[in-house]
Amino acid sequence: MKTLVVGASKGLGRALVEGLGEAGDTLIGVSRTRPQDLASKAGVQLRWIEADLAEPAHAVRAIEHAVAEEGLDTLIYNLGIWEDQAFDEAYDFLQDRDEQLEAIVGCNITAPILLIKRLLPSLLKSPNPRVIFTGSTSGLPQSGRPEVTFTASKFALRGMADALREGYREQRLGVTCLNLGYLNTQDPLSTPRAVAEQRGDGQLIPVHDVVQVVRMVLSLSSASFVRELTLPAMLDERF
> Per-residue confidence at 229, pLDDT binned at 50, 70, 90?
very high
Mean pLDDT of the chain: 95
Domain ranges of the chain: 2-231
Average pLDDT over residues 90-115: 95
pLDDT over 90 (residue 231): yes
Q: Report the DSSP beta bridge partners of residue 74.
A: 3, 130
Q: pLDDT (tens digit, 9 = 90+) per residue, 19-66?
A: 999 999 999 999 998 888 888 888 999 999 999 998 999 999 999 999
Average pLDDT over residues 207-229: 97
Q: pLDDT (tens digit, 9 = 90+) per residue, 127-183?
A: 999 999 999 999 999 999 999 999 999 999 999 999 999 999 999 999 999 999 999
Radius of gyration (C-alpha) of the chain in whole angstroms: 17
200, 184 Cβ separation under 8 angstroms: yes
Q: pLDDT (tens digit, 9 = 90+) per residue, 201-213?
A: 999 999 999 999 9
What pLDDT, on the 0 to 100 scale, is given for residue 68?
87
What pLDDT, on the 0 to 100 scale, is given for residue 40?
82
Q: Report the DSSP beta bridge partners of residue 180.
A: 136, 231
CATH architecture of 2-231: 3-Layer(aba) Sandwich (3.40)
What pLDDT, on the 0 to 100 scale, is given for residue 8?
94
pLDDT over 90 (residue 69): no
Of 3, 16, 111, 112, which Cα lies nearest the Cα of 47? 3
Q: What is the 3-state secondary structure (H, E, C) of the chain?
A: CEEEEECCCCHHHHHHHHHCCCCCCEEEEEECCCCCCCCCCCCCEEEEEECCCCCHHHHHHHHHHHHCCCCCCEEEECCCCCCCCCCCCCCCHHHCCHHHHHHHHHHHHHHHHHHHHHHHHHHCCCCCCEEEEEEEHHHCCCCCCCCHHHHHHHHHHHHHHHHHHHHCCCCCCEEEEEEECCEECCCCCCCCHHHHCCCCCCCCEEHHHHHHHHHHHHHCCCCCCCCEEEECCCCCCCC
Percent of residues, the chain, with pLDDT higher than 70 = 100
What is the pTM for the complete model shown? 0.95
